Chain A
């Protein structure tokens, strides 16, 4: 009886391990061919870092407030994704969103991109969409850096509501 129970537990543990591998495989190679990554503003996540550097930012009422230019975040994406679509929902309080850039070299080398579309949302919020070719970006252990460039005076602010990234193969 004990042996049978132990065998059953062994089989269950092995099946759970296989399930874990399948789950990981499915997460890394999604069926639809694209993966959506959402930033949690003010917090580091395994795939996407919080915005930095700290002196240029603050978190207010759940929004990320940009106080100075530029700010950046890091994305750790699997290498089989070639393209990234960044969707930035923001509101301008004097400070304007200028462009976004991807790091293309070891030093201060960035390739800036204009938004391919800016969509007006409710209450003055806007959504800017940027496309990046991940293969042309500089990666250190699958980590790529993105820069958000803004334009404004010292006390002018830009509120960020969300940063969503859609990775495509």
Chain B
């Protein structure tokens, strides 16, 4: 008879939760950095790209995170 002993128990990785967290953290941080750049130099970001899209992604993933937990 063979005994199977698992000394270290790794927590199961919740793939979508973890992915959602990464997306939330990254998009929110980048949004903040771009917002700061825009405040320092008006037009630096918004002349080329609308940073509100990043905020919307962060908001959406944040809401999903809160609802899931």
Contact = CB atoms under 8 A, between A and B. Distances in A.
Interface of A: 2-3, 5-6, 9-10, 13-14, 17, 20, 23-24, 27-28, 46-47, 76-79, 141-143
Q: Which of under 10, 10 to 19, 20 to 34, or 35 or more describes the interface residues of B?
A: 10 to 19
Nearest to A9: B19
Contacts of A28: 44, 47-48
27 contacts: A2-B15, A6-B13, A6-B19, A6-B22, A9-B19, A9-B22, A13-B26, A14-B26, A17-B30, A23-B48, A24-B34, A24-B37, A24-B45, A24-B49, A27-B48, A28-B48, A46-B43, A46-B46, A46-B48, A76-B43, A76-B47, A77-B43, A78-B43, A78-B44, A142-B41, A142-B43, A143-B42
A20 B43 contact: no
A141 B42 contact: yes
Contacts of B23: 13
B22 A24 contact: no
A109 to B, nearest CB: 22
The secondary-structure label for the interface of chain A is helix
Interface string B14-28: 010011001100100
Nearest to B15: A2
Nearest to A5: B15
Given A10-B22, A13-B26, A78 B41 contact: yes
